[in-house]
Amino acid sequence: MSYEKIKDIEAMEDFLLRVKFHNGVIKIYDCKPLLKKDAFKPLENENFFKRVNVDSGGYGIIWNNEIDLAESELWINGVTESTQVAEKRSKYNS
C-alpha cells in the first residue's frame, strides 16, 4: 500500500509534529511515545527535535542519518487537524 507523500513538516511544542501531505491533509503526530525508545532519545533535546526535515521525495521525515520516520507512520498514527484549528492557527500567524 502506498501513502501520501509529505509536503511540509513543522516541529511544534510538546514534541508534536504538524505534517502537511501533498493531498492537502494536515495531521498532528505526537512523538512523545517514541521518546521511550532508545533510538529516539536524542529527540528529547528540543533544539535537535526542531531540526526535522522532509526526506527527499517526501517519503518520510528525518532528523539525521539515524533518526527518521516513514510517511506511513505519520499518516496512520497522526490525527487529522480540524478545519477550525487550522483556520484559527493561520489567523494568528498572518
Reported as a single tens digit per residue, the pLDDT across 47-66 is 999 999 999 999 999 999 99
Rounded Cα distance between 62 and 72, Å, is 14
Beta-strand pair 53-54/60-62: antiparallel
Residue 47 lies in a domain: yes
Rg over CA atoms, the chain: 13
Residue 84 lies in a domain: yes
Total number of domains constituting the chain: 1
Written as nine digits, the cell of 7 is: 509536503
15 closest CA partner among 28, 4, 27: 28
pLDDT confidence tier of residue 1, bands split at 50, 70 and 90: confident
Rounded Cα distance between 94 and 92, Å, is 6
CATH number of the domain residue 48 falls in = 3.30.2020.10
Residue 17 lies in a domain: yes
Residue 1 lies in a domain: no
Question: In the prediction, which pLDDT does 3 show?
Answer: 87
Residue 27 lies in a domain: yes
pTM summary value: 0.84
Q: State which residues form the domain around 45.
A: 6-93
